[in-house]
Amino acid sequence: MRILLRNAHILTMDDQYTEYPDGYLLTDGDRIVSLGEGKPSFTADETIDCQGGILLPGFVNVHCHASMVPFRTMGDDCPDRLRRFLFPLENEAMTGELVYLGALFGIAEMLLAGVTTFVDMYYFEEQVARACLEAGMRGYLGETVISQATPDSPVENGGLQLVEEMLKTYPHHDLIRPVVAPHGTTTVSEDTLRACGDLAQKYGAMLTLHVSEMDYEMQYFAERGQTPIQYLDGLGLCNERLLAAHCIHATAEDIALLKLRNARVAHCIGSNTKAGKGVAPIREIAAAGIPYGLGTDGPSSGNTLSLFDQMRLFAVCHKTKNHNRALFPAREIVRAATRGGAEALGAGSEFGMLLPGMKADLTVVSLDKPHLFPVFNPYSTLVYGANASDVSMVMTGGVIRVKDGQLTGLDINRLRHELAGVMGPFRRAATRYADVI
């Protein structure tokens, strides 16, 4: 099917940041086949008037735990909540059905915010794949591997087998890209981390984990004379397959090592600053030429799955940290949320730009609202003015998933009702942690 989008301000996000202020874009099947300025002469099966809105590549969320929607607003101000109630409550009350409905609701939220690809790490990850297929969302999905019992495995490191099952089930799928996802440097044993690296190597998969995020993590390795990133390198895991999430406390030596090994970084400014953990050295990471993208973290950690919030926080936090208003111009931040995310996944030749031959993963942001007038700089409009509610159309793989600001294939009200309906046991289990949540 050929779909023509016209009357759009197109941001291609190519090397030259080419724009078409009165642009058109034509898709055929799952690919972009043509784009340019003015009124095209060819016809299409469907024509959409973007009414002067901003057309850009779909946002890429490089780190989240989508199924944690039920945890949203729990213990937002509670220190050390990972151990105090998140791990225990997950083991008590998280089920496959809750993961599926939580993921489907989270995917719906992301689509409405213009996100077309996400990286996920959680339990029952085959249920997240089920949700992606139902919604038409591109997902890099990793079953959590951790050295403790989990909701879907009564034995330590049981996730290893589940990871390999997913790798075998989806070897070359267009939407589902299995990844290897050990939880972190202090929550997974050395032997298991090595096994994770072996799996990633065997199947040619990406490996992602939380690293250099926690103060106690840094202290633990400092007492051993190294950093978490140096530790991973010693295990052979710091390589071109690594997507290192957070890296808040990465040192200059760590950054040099990440660059040397061709590793990549997932930057989660919202959850990191909300938790008071710090602001990652992205200025130095970017200067080193290390690919990086933006992540929301889970609905429990960052509360939102929208990259609009991350872009705005990215700007204000990094400019403030470095006392430099000129640092990270708006178009560089939009790049991080789109093409940068694709490059961090090793998929920069597939999506993340609007060019002929690329995947037709794209977003249209309406400029109808008062807070978006006037527009002198479309990148500044996106970073400093726009919100998820301004997204009018979203396409993944050439299929329209959001039109006129509404989901085309999912009913968000029905999803909310169904999710609330299965949350009863979860809510009851949560009452025992009422003092901290």
Domain extents in the chain: 2-56+359-407, 59-344
| Preceding amide of 291 cis, omega within 30 | no
Q: Report whether 279 contacts 248 (CB < 8 A).
A: yes
Q: How far is CA 211 from each of CA 6, 158, 244, 246, rounded to the nearest angstrom?
A: 43, 21, 6, 6
Would the pTM of this model clear 0.95, i.e. be above it?
Answer: yes
Superfamily assignment of 2-56+359-407 in CATH? Urease, subunit C, domain 1 (2.30.40.10)
pLDDT confidence of residue 68: 98
Give the list of residues 6+ apart from residue 273 with CB closer than 8 angstroms, or none: 279, 313, 317
Give the list of residues 6+ apart from residue 415 with CB closer than 8 angstroms, or none: 101, 104, 105, 108
pLDDT confidence of residue 42: 87
Sign of torsion over alpha carbons 41, 47, 52, 54: negative
pLDDT confidence of residue 218: 97
CA atoms within 13 A on the CB side of 113: 25
For residue 159, count other CB atoms closer than 10 A to its CB: 27
Q: Which residue has the tokens 């083991």?
A: 91
Sign of torsion over alpha carbons 142, 143, 145, 146: positive
pLDDT confidence of residue 437: 87
Superfamily assignment of 59-344 in CATH? Metal-dependent hydrolases (3.20.20.140)
Question: What's the pLDDT tens digit per position in 129-165?
Answer: 999 999 999 999 999 999 999 999 988 888 999 999 9
pLDDT confidence of residue 157: 83
Question: What's the pLDDT tens digit per position in 156-195?
Answer: 888 999 999 999 999 999 999 999 999 999 999 999 999 9
Per-residue pLDDT of the chain (437 residues; tens, 9 = 90+): 999 999 999 999 999 999 999 999 999 999 999 999 998 988 899 999 999 999 999 999 999 999 999 999 999 999 989 999 999 999 999 999 999 999 999 999 999 999 999 999 999 999 999 999 999 999 999 999 999 999 999 888 889 999 999 999 999 999 999 999 999 999 999 999 999 999 999 999 999 999 999 999 999 999 999 999 999 999 999 999 999 999 999 999 999 999 999 999 999 999 999 999 999 999 999 999 999 999 999 999 999 999 999 999 999 999 999 999 999 999 999 999 999 999 999 999 999 999 999 999 999 999 999 999 999 999 999 999 999 999 999 999 999 999 999 999 999 999 999 999 999 999 999 999 999 88
Neighbouring-strand partners of residue 169: none
